[in-house]
Chains A and B, each alone.
Chain A
Amino acid sequence: MATARIPKGAVASELAKEGKKKTTFFDLLERPVITATRYVNQRVGFVTKMSRGCHFFFGPVFLAGFGVRVGGIVTMLRVFDQATLPFRTSCVIAGTRCLVSTNSYDVLRATALLQAGSKSNGLPSFEMQVLVDEALDDLPEQSAHFRGRRHLVFALLPHRSFVAYDLLRKRAHAALSPAAASDCAFWHSLLLPITIGVLGTTVGAVPVHSACLEEQGTGVLIAGVSGAGKSTLATALGQRGFTMISDDWTYLSDQKSTLVAHGLFAPVKLLPDAARFFADLENLDPRRSLNGELAYEFDPRSSMNIMMKDISCPQYIFFLERTPAPGCFMVPCRHEYVREFFQKNAERLPDELAAAKAFREKIVSILSSCRSWILRTGDSPSRTAEALADFLQEARHGRG
């Protein structure tokens, strides 16, 4: 057992930097003031308030004649309220308004590019409370892990970060390490897509597993199961001059019965075998992504001069299927096929989220009324993109 005096006003990270992170800290001379009695049982434990967002609990405590023995620092409590999260901002994500409260300038910087203007006032909104805590740097790194039950969802993320989602109250509570808070890639590749992926359906942005592109004002969804080649075809279409909204996940909303697709300017992910189709990838190194896959991850604007935008109105849907035989064929789809595909590929929602389920059903219903085809291809991505562009040209003129 080791003991040390807690410097007045110290925070955990400061103590850790002094090499005391494996020490039991306990103020021998001055019993800490109980600052939050609602959390404390005075007979067996008490709390030291280290900072506004960081409280240390101690216990059990045994008096031993001349000294004090302490069990150890057992947990850290992060309280999310106006006192611990004094900074406020709001941003627009996939057609929804995210009301951010935080204790960190890094979070304000990371969300600055998405800051909401006055036109965002009427958008459906959710809250995101982000507490940045240096003490998280001392925790071990964990693999990404997601679980949920009823209205609560838990997400363990890289950089020792953790987010809990409350889908009924439309809130996200995030405890981020400073490394995560200041990493733009973390925000744009992980935190924001995951957040809108989890909360989106409750606030009018239904995530669908589809790429979305636009050509001459015509929005196109490319749907397909994982591994079908959506991102590869989206990249090839982008190189042909299509504007990319998303390569993998698209967030759909309903504006006066018009289907509107939103993207997040998220990086494109391609598996290593895509390098044989895109020479630009030679300059990049594949990295391990969240699901453990090795993949190229790049900004299509800077890496391939592909145009991007964050909104479109999809009119056509293509369901991508790869076949071993060469050639590229478009087979018209029935409405039932479209409805079944999107229902089957959507995460089940619990009964507690009845409104969200009904809204998603409405979006699927609108989707099933779009003109749609199964795109069967055994050709290269560039040839498939060419065939799709030609087909769209025909379809726009009523000949598809």
Chain B
Amino acid sequence: MVEVRTPAYADPLDLLRRFVPTPLKASYRFGDARVVVQTNDFSLLPTASPAASPPEISECDFEWILVRDADATGTLYPPMVLASGAVTIIQMGSACLLGLDHERRELLAFIGSNVHPRTHQNFLVPLLCRLMNEGVASSSLSQFSKAREECDQ
């Protein structure tokens, strides 16, 4: 289990954890896409080499916000994908909730504390890359069984 402190959310009220700070920031180039990743957990930063000259958020093609959710302690469930217009949502139980807004070029994800960094790097990051590039990523999702085994260990 990954331990990340979650700030108090009762004052001011933030039951949805919208405002969990994501102070860690790195830039990447995935294929042709320039991506800025923001997170509250080092282990969620993709292990790919960061871009040599990091773009500003205004210049990047996509912005990812990956929140390690200390209060979500479940394991990964089989993915459920909801696709509607510009928005694609994937939920794998409380351990992984992610939303991709193609129009706004934003990818927002909550990743539970039981999701192992290896699972994140080997399964979720490729999934996010392919979601960003081509919509629902069938082959990335095919790694789900292995990812869940890692999560359960």
Contact = CB atoms under 8 A, between A and B. Distances in A.
A153 B99 CA distance: 9
B138 A40 contact: yes
A45 interface: yes
B88 to A, nearest CB: 9
A2 interface: no
Interface in A136-172: 139-140, 142-143, 145-154, 156, 162, 164, 166, 168-169, 171
Contact of B142 (A45, A78, A149): A45
A74 B18 contact: no
Contacts of A69: none
B83 A78 contact: yes
Given A71-B145, A147-B110, A150-B18, A78 B81 contact: yes
Interface in B80-96: 80-87, 89, 91, 93-94
B138 A39 contact: yes
If over half of B's interface residues share one DSSP class (helix, strand or loop), that class is named, otherwise mixed; here it is: mixed
A366 B16 CA distance: 26
A146 B71 CA distance: 11
B101 A152 contact: yes
B84 A173 contact: yes
B77 interface: yes
B138 A46 contact: yes
Interface residues of B, number: 46
Contacts of B106: 150
A75 B78 contact: yes
A312 B48 CA distance: 58
Interface in A49-92: 57-60, 71-72, 74-81
B142 to A, nearest CB: 4
What is the interface residue range for chain A against chain B? 35 or more
A120 B16 CA distance: 31
Interface string B123-147: 0000000000011111101101100
Nearest to B74: A142
A346 interface: yes
Contacts, number: 156
A45 B14 contact: no
A152 B87 contact: yes
Contact of A139 (B72, B78, B144): B78
Interface string A21-54: 0000000000000000011110011110000000
B93 A142 contact: yes
Given A44-B139, A148-B17, A156-B91, A77 B81 contact: yes
B77 A140 contact: yes
Contact of B144 (A75, A154, A164): A75
B81 A76 contact: yes
Contacts of B19: 348, 350
Interface in B1-28: 11-19
A60 B140 CA distance: 9
A276 interface: no
A122 B81 CA distance: 34
29 contacts: A38-B134, A38-B135, A41-B137, A41-B139, A45-B139, A58-B138, A59-B138, A72-B145, A74-B145, A75-B81, A75-B144, A78-B83, A79-B83, A80-B84, A142-B77, A143-B74, A147-B72, A148-B18, A150-B108, A164-B91, A169-B85, A171-B84, A173-B84, A345-B13, A347-B14, A347-B15, A347-B16, A348-B12, A348-B13
